[in-house]
Structures are given as structure tokens and as C-alpha cells.
Amino acid sequence: MQKNPSASSLGPGGLDLAQAFFKPIQNTDPPSSTKRHTKISVIGVGNVGMAIAQTILTQDLADELALVDAKSDKLRGEMLDLQHAAAFLPRTKINASVDYSITAGSDLCIVTAGARQNPGESRLNLLQRNVALFSNIIPPLAKYSPDSILLIVSNPVDVLTYVSWKLSGFPSNRVIGSGTNLDSSRFRFLIADHLDVNAQDVQAFIVGEHGDSSVALWSSISIGGVPVLSFLKNQQIAYEKQTLENIHKAVVESAYEVISLKGYTSWAIGYSVANLARSLLRDQRKIHPVSVFAKGFYGIDGGEVFLSLPAQLGRGGVLGVTNIHLTDEEVQRLRKSAETILEVQSQLGL
């Protein structure tokens, strides 16, 4: 599945025309062994996986892209569809296979695969099926790319990031969940929309679980460097706390709205994950709210848990967690969010 028959062997007897087409110049050295070749693997070619793959290609984030899925026909179709756009994209080698050996040497492995919920199925049973699925995904990824970073997108992302950490044996800095990176983007959009400013000028984080128990950090929101709540207080501008709660509620419910309207989410998570890939692979050292090993932060000591905190990302994965000030109420909500995740994990018997 890696190459089309119409590759470079077009000459008589399968002559490789790539060698005959170009004449080398004299007195050359072989290519430098230090030249960086970036490889990304995407596991799962559903709507989310392909949105991520397409965004990675258009943003020129990888020299090689490997796709893996259990459905061989769909997988080959998606690979060919992307390959046929080669004339319009930066040069990237695109391969696909049902065999995980194709991911060998990956710098970043992005996992989007997951079981669909059956009618009447409990969330716990769905999660247990996803854990079983991950037991067939994560070990081969770790085997073929032992130095890679794992980026988990499948839901429930916090629990499955923890599962991936356990199954891979990787250090915690190289296992990351997409977490609330997209939630925070939705949060910034809604605030920007309320105030009629550019969302890129809004600094705002959603932390904790990627789900109903997430926490909006209102105390640290700033626009153009101006802390919003402090500004309102200093200017004696009244605001209702319920208004803030409604904005957070809209963030939590926004994905459900998109799913109810079009059947799935894809483009926003595609951009979100590509944004994370850029920060990781190009050592951007940007701050992202992603699911990280959270034990020991903000009094979260009840067990080993992954949840979203503002973290600095670079070539080594998670470089550190931002020491952001939280109010007492925000700390309590964050701890409660951790307890929610730990309660689910305790039912898995891992």
C-alpha cells in the first residue's frame, strides 16, 4: 500500500527513471546525516483523523505522513485521495497500511481511533472497549517508535491518555492528550465575540477534564494584556456571575451542538491538533492547555491522573506546567474534576 505501481519504475524492464532523469554534479558529498526528517503517524482515518492529516499537510508540518486504520479499503482510498493532491501541497511522502510497522521512526504518533457507542450502551462499557482497542494500538506504536511523542485525541481523552501512558511505558512528558486545547479555543472565540475583538488577543484557559467537569479560569483572562475581571472591578463595572457561567456552559455544549447539526466534529479539532504538532515538533515552547500527568499540581494527590493544565510544549514533549495563579474556588473545581476522572479510572481495573 505504500507506493502506487506508477512510481519511478516506468522504464523498460522496470528501469528506475529517477536515476536516469537527473545527472549528478561533480565533487559532491552525500546528504548530511544531521538533516532533520520529520515523520508523523495518524492512527484512525475517520473524520477526525483525516481532518488532522489534511491540516498537517497544508501546514507543511511533516516530511512523511503514515496513516493506519483497520479498514484497508477506506485507508487506501484516503491515502490515494491525499496523494492525488500532491501538485497543490508541500512535498510530503504519504504512506498507509493496516500494519503498524509503517509507523516506524515516527517523531509524533497521533491516535484518533476509537470505538463508537452502540445504542443503549453505557459510557463505562464503551470506555472498556476503547481500553481493549488501545491495548492493540499503543504497544506496537511504542515498539516501532520508542522515542516518539504520543498525542491522544480519542475520547474520553483524559482517561485514554492515562491508559496510553501505562501501555506504552513512556515517560510522562512524552504522553499528551489533546485535552482542552480546543475547548479553550472555543472559550476565546466566545469571549472575543462578546467584546468584538480578535480571538488571538484573548488569553483564556479551560482546564481539568475535557468534559462536563471542566473549569474556566476566569481569574486569569486577559485581553491585550489587560486582566478582564480586575479591569471591571477597578472601573466599577458590574457584571453577573451567571453571564460568565453561561459562556462556560456554551463551551461545554458547543461540541454537542456541532454533532447534532452535522453528525461529527472535525475541522476545529484538526486545526487544534495540528497546532499542537507544530509546537511539539518545531520546539515552539508555546503554552497549551493539554492533558498532562497532573499529580502534585494544585493539590491533586488522589492518584495518577491526566487532565488539562496550561503546559509548555516543545521537542521533548511537555517541558513544564505554567505556575498560573488560581482562586480558591478554581482550585476546588479543578480537584473535583480530577476526582471525576479518577472515579472512572477506578472502574477499569487497570
Whichever domain contains 344, its CATH number is 3.90.110.10
Cβ pair 113, 84 in contact under 8 A: no
Domain ends where: 162, 177, 192? 177
Q: Clarify whether residues 188 and 170 are in a common domain.
A: no
Q: How far apart are CA 335 and CA 297, in angstroms?
A: 10
The pLDDT, as a whole number, for residue 6 is 47
- Round to the nearest angstrom and report the end-to-end CA distance of the chain: 36
Which parts of the chain have pLDDT scores under 50?
A: 5-6
Q: Clarify whether residues 166 and 310 are in a common domain.
A: no
Three-state SS letters, 247-308: HHHHHHHHHHHHHHHHCCCCHHHHHHHHHHHHHHHCCCCEEEEEEEECCCCCCCCCCCCEEE
Q: Is residue 28 part of a domain?
A: no
Q: How far from chain centre, in Å, is Cα 267? A: 13
Q: Is residue 30 part of a domain?
A: no
Domain span at 85: 36-113+121-177
Q: Clarify whether residues 184 and 251 are in a common domain.
A: yes
Cβ pair 292, 321 in contact under 8 A: yes
Q: Clarify whether residues 291 and 325 are in a common domain.
A: yes
Q: Clarify whether residues 143 and 195 are in a common domain.
A: no
Q: Clarify whether residues 101 and 219 are in a common domain.
A: no
C-alpha cell at 199: 480571538
Domain ends where: 177, 193, 215? 177
Task: State the CATH number of the domain containing residue 102.
Answer: 3.40.50.720
Q: Clarify whether residues 107 and 149 are in a common domain.
A: yes
**Count of other CB atoms within 10 angstroms of residue 237:** 8
Binding residues, by number, are 44-49, 69, 130, 153-155
Maximum CA pair distance of the chain? 83
Q: How far apart are CA 198 and CA 223, in angstroms?
A: 9
Q: Clarify whether residues 54 and 69 are in a common domain.
A: yes
The pLDDT, as a whole number, for residue 231 is 79
Q: Clarify whether residues 283 and 164 are in a common domain.
A: no
- pLDDT tens figures, 105-153: 999 999 999 887 677 776 678 888 999 999 999 999 999 999 999 999 9
In the sheet with 108-111, reading across from the earlier edge strand, the strands are: 93-97, 64-68, 39-43, 108-111, 149-152, 175-177, 286-293, 306-314, 317-321
Q: How far apart are CA 230 and CA 228, in angstroms?
A: 6
Q: Domain tally for the chain?
A: 2
User: What positions carry a catalytic annotation?
Assistant: 210
Cβ pair 206, 308 in contact under 8 A: yes
C-alpha cell at 297: 499540581
Please give the single-letter amino acid code of residue 130: N
- Give the chain's count of helices (H) and strands (E): 11, 14
The pLDDT, as a whole number, for residue 5 is 45
Write b or e for each residue in 22-40: b if 16 or more Cβ atoms lie within 10 A of its Cβ, otherwise e: eeeeeeeeeeeeeeeebbb
pTM for the model: 0.89
Q: Is residue 161 part of a domain?
A: yes
The pLDDT, as a whole number, for residue 238 is 67
Q: Clarify whether residues 246 and 158 are in a common domain.
A: no
Q: Is residue 59 part of a domain?
A: yes
Q: Clarify whether residues 184 and 172 are in a common domain.
A: no
Binding residues for NAD(+), by number, are 44-49, 69, 130, 153-155
Q: How far apart are CA 24 and CA 30, in angstroms?
A: 11
- pLDDT tens figures, 231-282: 777 776 766 677 778 888 888 888 888 988 998 889 999 999 999 999 999 9
C-alpha cell at 151: 498525542
